[in-house]
Structure 1
């Protein structure tokens, strides 16, 4: 009966490519054209920022950017570069209510963040302000975080961090503007501090651009007593892809 029901569902609702929505054979997969567009982020990478190196720099190598400007978090990892099909998937999840993509995106995130999930205690998503949540009806970071937590067996705590003031959307802002936009925007209230005291937090977001948002959240978590904060995102804007003057803003 289950097999028959599954066959009927496949006929009525065939699995679609996460990038272009053409029919594919397996749910949560990409068609051949979209798969070729995907740029997976692989080692060797900076052990702190997770940005890939063009050549192997040796074990535990750290990039000049991480040395010159140490982030508020401990480590960051991302599954794919924010170009092509990955960009379309993020935008479909975020703006077109494609929450069905979150579990499949989380699979790639877990592959990139194996070392982070192995040491994490709690998964926390980057929060939305209540005004934006009411408009969008869901938090894309929470959808990804829930899927990551479920697959890794970690606690999922979507309400530990609050966005206490409404901020501009980061889309189209330059590096300095992004930092100023989210400065002091996040807080952990007193009732939640005991839950994170001494715990290692895995902070989940959809895209890492300059790190301004996740750094601001990480500071609030550490001020509240977190033992460590790592960042896991689905996509990442690589340095060579980021332009403050880009005509197609991130």
Structure 2
């Protein structure tokens, strides 16, 4: 196996996920691309992971938006800010058939999930409508969720949530318009309902903008008997991004 791995590495050397330059290990970023990637750190909103000014130790803080309109989930974390290389990686995973990005994405999200999820938590991806899934051939959120399950040891249910009604793109829509579009568009798979009773559900998605889609998913989970809902996303659209 060692010789085979060496031979494969010689033929297919590891490449940077961002620019394609050779790197030391698979699923990595070169120094230049790493420098263009805005990882979330420091003080953030406990609900939506928006970066906040100042430094707060051992204190839960919330952004103004979440104070005005509380989200229907308990904790929310993002690995990246949706700008620069972070935005490029999300778009490549989502639209560019770069499915290999899901594994490092999960690696960047792993610790946050471990910090906010209890041992019996259930990981579930935000669903796609079957027509969009057929066109794209994969659900990028489900790929991240599978890798997160492998890395954390938490159970995953890829079809916990369903999207029976096709909805238009939410790009450019206001918060209220997004909520109207998603009203009744997401539900719990009746064959999986028993899996979330008295459990925390960790919703996984590639990017959070206003949180409308995640809110619809969280509300469906709570209505079906989930104890709590947490959110983990690869990237967060920040106001100053």
Match of 2:12 in 1: 13
Larger mean CA deviation between 202-211 and 116-125 belongs to 116-125
Aligned length: 240
Deviations along 1:13-40, one digit per CA (max 9) or x if unpaired, are 1111111122212111111111111111
> C-alpha offsets along residues 107-129 of structure 1, whole Å, 9 cap, x if unaligned?
00113333123455110000010
Structure 1: 4+ residue segments shifted above 4 A: none
Partner of 2:158: 158
Kindly indicate whether the alpha-carbon contact (under 8 Å) linking 2:161 and 2:189 is maintained by their aligned counterparts in 1.
yes
Q: Deviations over 1:30-72 (max 9, x none)?
A: 1111111111111312222222211024511222222210011
What is the CA distance between 1:103 and its match in structure 2? Answer: 0.8
**C-alpha separation between the residues in 2 aligned to 1:34 and 1:218?**
34
Contact 2:73 / 2:231 at 8 angstroms: preserved in 1?
Answer: yes
* Structure-2-length-normalised TM-score: 0.94
Match of 1:107 in 2: 107
Provide the aligned C-alpha RMSD in A.
1.5
Return the alpha-carbon distance in structure 1 between the equivalents of residues 136 and 48 of structure 2.
30
**Could you list the runs of 5+ residues in structure 2 that have no partner in the other structure?**
none
Q: Who is 1:228 aligned against?
A: 228
For the Cα contact (< 8 Å) 1:116–1:202, is it kept in 2? no
Q: Is the CA contact (8 Å cut-off) linking 1:119 and 1:200 kept in structure 2?
A: no
Gaps of 5+ in 1: 242-250
Aligned to 2:25: 26
